A = this chain, B = another copy of it.
């Protein structure tokens, strides 16, 4: 755990920007050697996101994690040749001390929750890279990997620990901080590493952690190796994992160019979407703009377009927009998704990607959409889609409708408006290419209770469905014609804004994830919900709680009452 600096942390009102470029990294170093990349964590203790703390001992705040997420994204897109990523520390005697305690102690509840959500998404993304992008991770731990430091290791395919009397893995949150290892730690210990539950209990309550052979016996790490043999063991592990990778050997990456983004008052404009914020109504509208150009003809041209290729460009912009709203606009309780454009163009892009789904770059773009859609799924805001004349919710973009809590569709046309009637069109991508974190598609989750509905939806693929058809197929919540549309939408939005923000958070977190559970849903359900509860409890966050007292030498003054 990080040493506590003396000043107390304060969250500033500065906008958190999620855009990064490797040249400006303060905390991570990437180096490349053929099919292997080294990702070295070397946190600049003074380059903090907020004032009031220092990032000692490779501890991290959200700023460090934003760089990590950027690096992972570049590894996927800019480095198709990389089959194995070796994660190391740039510090002596410490691998990573986890999330910075002073930062956590000073952060507002909402920031803590959103910080954890983002770091969880980043770690889930590493497992996604491993499983679906052929990019494997080895965590080479020298020194102490404590708390979030060990949780980072847990996200890798393999963990190798130096057997040197100093290097340990630990989850000391309970004894030191009275909070949980909430970045997937508990879930990955039980469900990924499958550590026996009583040993996991011992491990999670042992401040000093576990090292050497015991760490291997308990399955906390895969290997414990003396320093003299460490590099050779890592190299052997690299060979083993590289052999499992299906990354292309001779492909060239594309560059993830900076996002085109302009802010003017309460409007944020990207190249393919626009956010408009209505502060009084506590609502943001995200308007997605269809492509200007038809799709290119082959993968070579997709590659040439690179980050400008519409589906990739839109996904990156949408991701940035969601993150911005989550972290910087806490009082905006409802996100309204709209689109304008030619559904046929969306379907044409989808068709091109489907036909070339095996190409590494197309695969990355589709995987990226999957992750962006999952990010929407777990966004703690009420999500509603308004399907209006001229909209283009088709194929990939139609997934947004079912990520939303509700979708309303305009029936017919508007008087004095020559935009075409609203339609929804399905294609193959809606039937499995974008699984939710529960492992099944949004349509399958939606139709758990009515198997016939899946068949009917499949039979409708390719057909532009008007409001009547979309409603009868169960694809939208309700449709209204011109007479009722404005009132019905207004009433819904006003009603939503009148409910308790917390009540809605809990409601939505439960209703969105019917059906099977996975390690990911456990992390966002069970683990995160309990952590959020603890983040409200005086034993952790009160004036005499463990987070506030950390580093003072005085233990938290705990209320012994159990619930």
Contacts and interface: CB of A to CB of B under 8 A. Distances in A.
A454 to B, nearest CB: 12
A500 interface: yes
A173 interface: yes
A556 B304 CA distance: 56
Interface string A500-531: 11111111111111111100011001110111
Interface in A144-196: 173-175, 177-180, 186-187, 189-191, 193-196
A73 interface: no
Question: Which among A204, A512, A527, A529 has the highest number of chain B CB atoms within 10 Å?
Answer: A529
Nearest to A509: B530
Given A526-B529, A560-B331, A201 B500 contact: no
Contact of A533 (B197, B332, B502, B521): B502
B563 A532 contact: yes
Contact of A501 (B449, B503, B531, B558): B558
B514 A178 contact: no
Contact of A558 (B175, B199, B407, B500): B500
Contact of A525 (B174, B205, B507, B525): B525
Nearest to A171: B507
A503 B201 contact: no
Interface in A197-252: 197-202, 204-205, 219
B506 A517 contact: no
A406 B197 CA distance: 8
Nearest to A504: B174
Nearest to A476: B198
A537 interface: yes
A337 to B, nearest CB: 14
A198 B405 contact: yes
A197 B406 CA distance: 8
Most buried by B among A501, A514, A527: A514
B194 A448 contact: yes
Contacts of A199: 477
Given A330-B562, A501-B559, 7 more contacts: A174-B500, A191-B448, A196-B474, A201-B508, A204-B507, A219-B449, A501-B561
The 7 closest A-B pairs by CB, nearest first: A194-B449, A529-B529, A517-B517, A178-B500, A525-B526, A190-B514, A506-B530
